[in-house]
Structure 1
Amino acid sequence: MLEILYQDDYLVAVNKPAGMLVHRSWLDKHETLFVMQTLRDQIGQHVFPLHRLDRPTSGVLLFGLSSEVAAKAAPLFAGHEIEKTYHAIVRGWIEQPDVLDYPLKEEQDKIADKFASKDKEAQPAVTAYRPVAKVEVPYSTGRFPTSRYCLLEMKPKTGRKHQLRRHMHHLSHPMIGDTTHGDGRHNRLFREHYDCHRLLLHASSLQFVHPLTGEDLCIHAPLDDVWLRLMQTFGWDTVLNSDDSASSEKKRCS
């Protein structure tokens, strides 16, 4: 059963589990569990995805309940009229909030994009971020006897493929559990000492104007058990109590 965060006559939002594909893909023929099909069976009607989350990412995922609603809501995402908030754990300490404006070349899949042009110019990519909490743990990943990590809030202003992961890599603060753009030494530390075998990136909330009713909505996704265990271990279990990922309730945005 998927956790339903919000539902009305037009939209439904769920808390997507990490590791679950949004829909069927010929690139993952062996998979049998998908958000779209699971949600359809759970609520007894077809759903239409309005955006996507990468397989290893958890958090808020929004669907339309008809193709007509999807057609009206999709421009909100295309026009960046929806504010997305993510949280991640990254290597090192980030001391100040900032905005990274760093264009990204399109990441292409070796199979799906086999015949796509390889000469496309980098596209604008902007991410606002701020540190929420930090920790120093008594385990070494190199020349120092300890390792430092930061809980980071991120708000992407554009929607490039793997934008948040690639931007953090560019800043030399890769996300923990990122096997493509991350740091294997730190991923291994989290596997061995914290039994964490996944990407630590969570889509905490969506804030937008309802395309049919005009209502201001904030939809929040609570953290899963892996996140909560790490938050408690690092002494961060209270830092998000009043933050975006603290509640799954629908709220009016201030």
Structure 2
Amino acid sequence: MDIESGTVNQIDIIYEDEFLVAINKEAGLLVHRSWLDKGETRFAMQLTRDAVGCHVFPVHRLDKPTSGVLLFAKSSAVARSLTEAFAEHNVTKQYLAVVRGFMADQGVVDYALSFKPDAIADKFADLDKPAQEAVTHWQSLAQVDLPFAVSKKHDTTRYSLVRLTPETGRKHQLRRHMRHVFHHIVGDTSHGDGRHNRFFRAQYDCSRMLLHAQSLALSHPVTGEPLLIRAGLDDQWMRILEAFSWVDSVEG
């Protein structure tokens, strides 16, 4: 089964049955309430609950600035099953990102990530955790060379559209891995490059981080049916794809 998205009650419902609901989370929307963002009033979990009329249980997470497929269970039992599927790497997640520079056709980043605590959310966490294995596969989908000198070292500026497939699910893994290989994700204010972020805001009116959870593939936790859930791209993403003639490159 292959599902596309449609909008319901202020939240983009991608898929729903009696056991699951998936949404296309917008960039800037928190999954649930957090001490880190006390001023926020809209949360994906509450909006989804209100839209479907029952309590929902988060089974994975997306960073606040990341958009795309976010899956919830409608019962604690299904949530446990899905959480185990994620933990056992039985769910395939694919992301789209725009990164600085030209990346090779394909490759793997195998780089362990140390624990990076949040000042409030991880106040009581073990700060001596050893670095955890983290593996990300990438595929370069398209490239562009722009006649703008974002860096003083070069007269032009290069970007790549890439598909990222994480094997592991470490905190900020994709953002930190792209920084590690010097291909920062555009719009990332924590792990990115401010020069390129400012350029995209000024030149393309793009203020979001260009990282999108495009698809989630898994076996349905109750029926066992293969399930492929896809999330469409927002206006800022489409503006970039059109400007760079990349629209056809995101399919597949």
Deviation of 1:95 (Å): 2.1
Moved more, 142-151 or 156-165: 142-151
Structure scoring higher RCO (CA < 8 A, sep ≥ 6) equals 2
Fraction of identical pairs, as percent: 55
Deviation of 1:14 (Å): 0.5
Which runs of structure 2 are paired with 1:73-222 in the superposition (5 Å)? 73-142=82-151, 143-222=153-232
Query: 1:90 aligns to what SS in structure 2?
Result: strand
Query: So what's the TM-score if we normalise by structure 1?
Result: 0.93
Deviation of 1:120 (Å): 2.0
| 8 A Cα contact 2:178 2:185, kept in partner | yes
Deviation of 1:115 (Å): 4.1
Deviation of 1:113 (Å): 2.5
Deviation of 1:29 (Å): 1.3
Q: Distance in 2 between matches of 1:111 and 1:59?
A: 26
Q: Does 1:225 align with 2:242?
A: no
Deviation of 1:118 (Å): 2.9
Provide Cα deviations, 1:142-182, integer angstroms capped at 9, x if missing partner.
22121000001000000100000000000000000111111
Counterpart AA for 2:245: G
Which runs of 5 or more structure 1 residues have no equivalent in the other structure?
244-254
How many residues are matched? 242
Deviation of 1:42 (Å): 1.2
Counterpart AA for 1:93: F
Query: 1:72 aligns to what SS in structure 2?
Result: helix
Deviation of 1:114 (Å): 3.3
Query: 2:49 aligns to what SS in structure 1?
Result: helix
Q: Distance in 1 between matches of 2:180 and 2:37?
A: 29
Q: Which residue of 2 aligns with 1:236?
A: 246
Structure 1 consecutive aligned stretches of length 4 or more whose deviation exceeds 4 Å:
none
Which runs of 5 or more structure 2 residues have no equivalent in the other structure?
1-9
Provide Cα deviations, 1:178-234, integer angstroms capped at 9, x if missing partner.
111111111111011011111100000000111100100110001111111110000
Q: Does 1:43 align with 2:52?
A: yes
Counterpart AA for 2:150: T
Which residue of 62, 65, 74 maps to 2:71? Answer: 62
Moved more, 89-98 or 109-118: 109-118
Query: So what's the TM-score if we normalise by structure 2?
Result: 0.93
| 8 A Cα contact 2:35 2:120, kept in partner | no
Q: Distance in 2 between matches of 1:27 and 1:191?
A: 25
Counterpart AA for 2:55: H
